[in-house]
Structure formats: structure tokens, C-alpha cells
Chain A
Amino acid sequence: MTGAALASLLPLPVVLPIAGAVAAPLLARVSARLPVIAAVVALGATAAVLMLEAPGVFGGRVLAHYLGLWRPVHGKALGIAFAADPLGLIFALAAAVIGAILLIYTLSELGGLGPRELGGYACLFQLLLAALIGAALTADLFDLFVWFEVAALASYGLTGFFLERPIALEAAFKILVLTTLASFSIFTGAGLLYASHGALNFAQLQAALRGHVTTPDLIALGLLIGGFATKAGLVPFHGWLADAHTAAPGPVSALFSGLMVNLGIVAIARVTFGLYGPGSTPVLGLLLVAGLASALLGAVLALAQDDLKRLLAYDTISQMGILAVGLSTGSAAGIGGAAYHLVNHALFKSLLFLCAGAVVHRTGLTSLSQLGGLARRMPVVTAAFVIGALSIAGVPPFNGYVSLGLIHQGLLEQHEAIAYALMLAAQVITIAALGRAAWLAFFRPRAQDHGQLEQLRPGMLAGLGCLAGCCVAFGVAPRFFLETVMAPAAAGLLHPGRYASAVLSGSARLPLPGIPFDYAPGELAAAAAGLAAAGILAWGYLQIAEPAAVRVLRAAHNGSANDYAAYAVTGTLAVIAALSLLPRLPGHGVVSGGIAHRAGPGLASHGSGRHRLGCAEGMLHAFVAGQPVGESGDPQRLGVPVAGARQRQRSAGGHELLPVTDDDRQAARVHEVDSREVEDHPAACPPGLCQAVVKLPARDDIEVTADRDDHAVAPALGRQPESFHPASRRTGPLPGAATQAHRMPAYPLCARQHPPRRGAGRPGQGSARNISLGAEPAAATRSPAARPLTAARGRERSTGHYAARRNARR
């Protein structure tokens, strides 16, 4: 099938469950079980349609479809776009497949309910899944809000589904208060963005926000993050989560925890990476802090719980924190790990909640202190619970090990040693909590035997078996899933420009990064040590009384809807304040995009990541190595020389200098500092080396961000790089280019260079590559022999998008 035909199928995965939801109450009149069976069929068809899209999307294509065929005109979209990018497709597929498994389980466990209950249940279940799939596939901010609301309405109904249980009512009230607040937040954020940019389409917003983020944009970002973090259950927005999971029946808890909360994380990823770009705001730092807080707090509270499902719910908060930390690394490994963990968490947490639901359903007991000795009576459930717990614990060969290892790797790449240590601590506490639960519920000898318990029915066995099998499958074949699924997902987030141009014009491809994964001895040793420490901690926790710190934390979760709302509002205000004030603090300027180098004494150029340069009055030089390949707009126009390209404009080192377009289709240059146009000298671009000069006032801190991830773009676009630019045929290094940088007039500036901060490239790839970069970027990373295609076609490309923002040190 052609891409257009595949793309035109995109609304189907949402339409099918919605049709099933509408039909469910009617089908219930025919037979009580019919709506659930129909729901399984609808979700199976949904998964099949999504699988049809999968080969193309995971191959790096982004399929886009405009509802009603209201296609964009001149880069402006009025219609609502659906776009399948790898991350969205992963989430949509997980929702469809796991949703179907949960429904089969439901059919078996709750099949005895009456027609009204089952009809309503199937309706709300499918509505929630349709909303999740819609949110995963939409490329429109307001549409995302609508799907958020649909998911919220369905979740209210499902939380209060067993209305005879009073705690369900209480939980429904709390989730209503907090999610309604979150929806105001998202609504206002989307409205603010529309009011300042006149666009709702992700692609258009991305183009509007790139490199130029104003204070209203930052407030909108804060509101959006606050709203979606409530859905994701990140601290301090998490008040509703534990209650809602505790009160709902097993499959509903599994749906909430495994799938619904992920909506928040996926939306945060979209907003953070897809709309704003991580370089232009301090949002990644915020995500790191919130993620670590969630990971630790969730783990500690999980360790302290007595209610089995509540324990798992607090562990969900912890796992969402881990996902946020993975996103906050901003590296391919960390984001790929987060995408991997998203799927893994959906699998093992669904499995654990189903086990907990089966235990509660059969024994009628919820508290760990009353349970015990179930291993003998419920061996299958025990085995499934142990598999789920081992997966979370990160024991190879189960799936948790891979994703956690990748997230840790991402943190170490960013030199976040403290965050890494805290993550390990959270991991130890999580393992201890689950180990304690497994011991108390299943293995601890119990004085009073449970007697004969109801057997598991075939559907329940099938559900548990499928999920446990997936946990193992995702653990034993990590390289396959990384290469085919997770690396494209990371690419989609790291290259929002490709996503944008695919949505607007439909022809860009994502460059697929390689994410290396190995069973490294260090990580294995850490996992083993973590297990041992967790064992000691769990044993110790069983012996002692509750520590004071844990008591304080538990007292803060006092069950009051007012207080939980206050936490969430405070959190949103804190996020907004941090986002809008942090960039104003000294030392927090950002120059984003492009390969940038500075000139001056030392001429320490660098290849990727961010450097902060403390500058005296003088000039900032920025070079674009190679010809930039723009990110936005029509790919046919990318890299086209601007008017006057053939004119000799300025000479450096005796080469003809040509202006080259950057993403804004202006000459590559730093044209903006702190939202102000600056005096610059564009267009000093020899074929292999482009330069931009910016005059800077004294005592500025400049942060230079460089992006080398776009090198693979030219071949991926399927274009001959030579044709971009007649003068760029040369494949070898420019004569004299290696010393080009050193020949630049030495300005008395940049007296010192700060050590690389977050995002400053991988360790061990520092100066050697950096210095050679200005001359020959292709040779710097890969030998021409290793990449004959690229080498033959021309030098590799880099983005030449510049936008500079800086803040004067005050």
C-alpha cells in the first residue's frame, strides 16, 4: 500500500473503539457478554490496522493524514492532523493489544455481571482506549486536549464503576477534582499558544517556537506540563493516582496504571521535544527533578503500604518518575530507554495489577498483613506476580533490565552522577517494596489456610500468560526491539523538525540512530548489588517500626481532595515560575541549533552538546561545518542556496564564501540573541565551512548548542547532496580548512570556558573530534570507508539553524 493509503487509514484505530463503545450498551440488550466480545474484536481490528502502519513508521516515515482532507496550504494547516510517528504508534499499539488482553481477562473474571454493568464497562473501557490512541496519533494541540478530556471522562466512569464500594466514590471525587484542574491548565496553555502563534498544528507550532521562545510561551509550557503531569501522576500532581487504582477492579487498575497514565508522559514528550525543543527551555532539568522526586517518593510510599493494590499504585508513580528521568536525559539512549520502559511498564504493571485483582477477588482480602501463604493455593498467580516483580526489579533476562540500563546509560552520558545514584536508590527501594509484597502475600506461611480458592478461568490464564510472555520476550530480544522500534521513537523526539516537515508536507524521513545495548558487567553488577541491598532493606523494613520520615510522608497524603488540589496548583505554579525565571538567571543563556564554534584565543570548537562560554566583549563566531540541511518546510527546498549565493561576499582563508540557507531559509548565522536581532555578518560560508559572527556585549554568558545528529539526513532524504550546492562537490577536507578556525582573527574574548554541562556530548569523545570538526565533520565521526555512500556523495551535512539567546549576567 502506498503511504497516502496507509495514512488515510489513521483515523480507523480511533473510530473502531469509539464505534464499539457506542454499540456496547445496545449489544448488552442482546446478551450480557456480547459488548465485551465485540470490544475484543474492535480492539483486535484496531491493532491490525496499526500493525499495517508499523513497517513504514518504524522504518522512519511519519504518516500524516488530515481529517476531511483539509490539507495544509503554504505551510499553514487549518484541518486536524493525525500523524503516526514511532513513539505514538508504540503507545497506540500497546494500548490496543494490552487493552484487548485486559478485556479477555475481564470477560473471564467479571463475566458474571449483569448486562447493564458489562455494557457500561465495555463502553467506558473502549472510550478510554480510543482516547489514548487518539492522543497518541494526533498532531494537533487542541485535539490532544480533547482526547485528554475524553480519557478523563471515561476514567471518572471507570473509577466509580463499582458504585457499591464507597471508596470508589471517594476516589472518583478526587480524580475528578485533580483532572478537572489539569484540564483547565492544558486548555489555557493551548489557548495561549494559539493566541501568540496562530497555530495548533504541532508542526506549525514547532516552526513558530524554534529558537524564539517568549515568556507567554514559557507560561503556556508550564501550564501544559502541569496538566499532563497530573495525568502522568508525577509528584506533586499525584494525589489522585493511588486512590483511583485502589478502588477500581483489577483490569481497570491495570488499564489505568499500564496505559492511561502513559498518556501524560507521551504528551509531555510531545510538548517538550516536539513543540519547544529541549534546548530552548530549562524544561529537561525540571523533568529530571520531578522524575527523581516521583521515583523516590513513589518507591518509599510503596514500601510502606499495607494494601496490595495501593502498593502497586505507588510503584506506578515511581515508574512514571523513571520515565520522566529517561526523557530528561535528552539523549538517544535515555529517550529510547524511556520508550522501552513505557512499553515494559505497561506490560509488567498490567500483569501485577491483574494478579492483585485475582488475589483480591478470590480471597476478599486486600491488606498484606492478612494475606499470606498464597503460593500453594494460587501457583499460577504467584508465578505471574514473581515474573512481574522480577521485571520491575531489572533482573536479566526480564524486560526491565534493558530499559533501566538504557536510562542509566543516558544519565551517565550526561554526567548526571547524582541523578544516577538517586535512580539506583529508588530502584533498590522499589525492589524491596515488591519483594516485601511478594513475601507477605504469597510466600509467608500463614497460620490459617485459605482453603480451596476458586480456580483461574481460561481467559484469566490467557491474559496472565500473554503479559508474562511479553515481559520475557521484551527482555530476551532487546537488540531487535531497540533497533526496530525504540531507536525510531527516540529519533522522532530528537528530530522534531523531521516530524514537522512530514506532517506539513509528508515527505521527510527520520534518521535512525543506533542505540547500543550490551549486557555490560558494570550494569549487571549494579543490578546484582541492588537486589542484595533490596533484600536487606525489605528484611529490615519488616523488622522495624515505621521510620519517622516515612510517617511524615504518609501524613502528607492525608486523603483530602483540597490538599491534593493545593499540591497540584503549587506544583503548576512552581513549574511556571521555574520555566520563566530560570533562563533569566545568570549563566543560563542558550544558543540552540547548528554546529557552532567560537573564535578567539584557543578556538576550542566543539561538536555536540552545549558549552557555556564566558565572553568578554567581542565576537562570537559560529561555523557550520558542511552545508546545512534545514529542518522545516518543503524538503525540496532544503539546502538551496539563497539568492546571491554565487556572489563572492567575503573571503576567509582564500575560499569563496557562499551563503547557505538554514532552517529559516536565511543565511546560516546567529541572527538573534535574547530575542533581539543582533549585528551579524552572515554568509561567510565556504562550501565546507560556514561562519557566523555575532557581536556581543561584554560579560555575557553564551551557551552554544550544537547538533550533530543530523548527519545522516542527506542520504535519508534520498537527494544527491551535490545538487544542493554546486560548490560542495568536494569530498575531501578543504585545503587549509583544518586550520581555518585558527586563522580567524583572534578577538580578545571568551576568556574562559566552563566545563561541559548537561548535554555536552559523550564522555571520551571530547576534544579530538571537536577540533577536527570545523574541517571535516564526516571524517570526524566516521571514516569515509565506513560510509562509502555518503563519502561518495559528498560531505555529511549538519543543521545550520542558528538562534542565539543569551542573558546578560546581572
Chain B
Amino acid sequence: MILANYLASAALFCIGLYAVLARRNMIKMVMGLSLMEGSTYLFMISLSYRAGSTAPVLLNPPPGQSTRTLAHGNVADPVLQNFCLTAVVIGVAVTAVFLSVVVRIAQHYRTLDSDRVREMRG
């Protein structure tokens, strides 16, 4: 049921957004952003799905089918799945940078409360 995917992705997105907007713990904010990221992946994968489609794997076709018949058959859109692959890689890098910054902040300020780390204002 593809609608469930969209709903789940929207719910995940909102939970993540809530964490980013309302939680002051920086680790929780990073977790919220990761949740939002995951929800966009789910959204993209759901967008690429068509009713009854199979995975867009054209190599090594099963017996009785050729690559051509697979390509002309009903397969999910591989481009959006590639989107997600690229974004997963970028997301990992961003999360790593994120966490290293949070670790340095924690080391320096001895706190994870984003509200206590705001020297620059105005």
C-alpha cells in the first residue's frame, strides 16, 4: 500500500522537524535531521514505485525473460533510487561533520544545550 509509505514518510518528517525546532539538545537535533533525511528517502523511493513494479535490476534476467522484456516491463524508476543513493552518501558525510562539531562543542562548552551556545546574537 503506497499511501502508507507517504503517510509514514510525512510522519517521520514531522517528528524530525519537531526535534529540530523544539529540542535544545544538539544530539537530538542531529537525530531529528537524520530522521527528516530518512523520510525524504522513503518519499523518493515511494515516488519511484509504480503499481506492481519490480526492482529495476536488468542484469541477469530470470529464466524466460530477457533484459529487453524487463526494461519494457513494469520496473520501478531507477533514477529516483539513484537520487537516494547519492543523498545517502552525502547524508552520511554531513552527519559525520555534524557529530564532530557537536563533540567539539561538548568538549569546549561542557554542554549539549544549544540554548547555552549562543554567544553571537543580534
Q: Is the interface of B mostly helix, strand, loop or mixed?
A: helix
B36 to chain A, nearest CB (A): 6
Is A470 in contact with chain B by the CB < 8 A criterion?
Answer: no
Is A587 in contact with chain B by the CB < 8 A criterion?
Answer: no
**Partner pick for B114 among A167, A183, A560, CB 8 A cutoff:** A560
Give Cα A246 to B86, complex, Å. Answer: 32
Contacts of A170 in B (CB 8 A): 105, 117-120
Query: Do B29 and A561 have beta carbons less than 8 Å apart?
Result: yes
Is A187 in contact with chain B by the CB < 8 A criterion?
Answer: yes
Is B21 in contact with chain A by the CB < 8 A criterion?
Answer: yes
Is A37 in contact with chain B by the CB < 8 A criterion?
Answer: no
> Number of residues in A with C-beta < 8 Å to the partner?
49
Is A188 in contact with chain B by the CB < 8 A criterion?
Answer: yes
**Partner pick for B120 among A142, A167, A191, A565, CB 8 A cutoff:** A167
Contacts of A146 in B (CB 8 A): 86, 90
Contacts of A301 in B (CB 8 A): 122
Number of A-B contacts (CB under 8 A): 122
Is A765 in contact with chain B by the CB < 8 A criterion?
Answer: no
Instruction: Tell whether A561 pairs with B114 under 8 Å between CB atoms, given A181-B33, A554-B122.
Output: yes
Instruction: Tell whether A195 pairs with B47 under 8 Å between CB atoms, given A169-B101, A173-B102, A243-B120.
Output: yes
Task: Report B24-49 residues with CB < 8 Å from chain A CB.
Answer: 24, 26, 29, 33, 36-37, 40, 43-44, 47-48
Query: Do B108 and A169 have beta carbons less than 8 Å apart?
Result: yes
Query: Do A562 and B21 have beta carbons less than 8 Å apart?
Result: yes
Contacts of B121 in A (CB 8 A): 554, 557-559
Is A171 in contact with chain B by the CB < 8 A criterion?
Answer: yes
Contacts of B93 in A (CB 8 A): 153
Contacts of B79 in A (CB 8 A): 194, 200
Question: Which residue of chain A has its CB nearest to the CB of B98?
Answer: A176
Query: Do A156 and B97 have beta carbons less than 8 Å apart?
Result: yes
Instruction: Tell whether A176 pairs with B114 under 8 Å between CB atoms, given A169-B101, A169-B104, A184-B36.
Output: no
Interface residues on B, range: 35 or more
Contacts of B104 in A (CB 8 A): 160, 163, 169
Contacts of B43 in A (CB 8 A): 188, 191
B35 to chain A, nearest CB (A): 11
Give Cα A261 to B117, complex, Å. Answer: 25
Residues of A within 8 A of B (CB): 142, 146, 149, 152-153, 156-157, 160, 163, 166-167, 169-173, 176-177, 180-181, 183-184, 187-188, 190-192, 194-195, 200, 242-243, 246-247, 301, 304-305, 310, 554-555, 557-562, 565-566, 569
> Could you jot down 29 A-B contacts, CB within 8 Å?
A149-B90, A153-B90, A153-B93, A156-B101, A160-B104, A167-B120, A169-B117, A170-B118, A173-B101, A173-B102, A173-B114, A173-B117, A177-B20, A177-B29, A177-B33, A180-B33, A181-B20, A187-B44, A190-B83, A191-B47, A195-B80, A554-B122, A558-B118, A560-B118, A562-B21, A562-B22, A562-B115, A566-B21, A569-B21
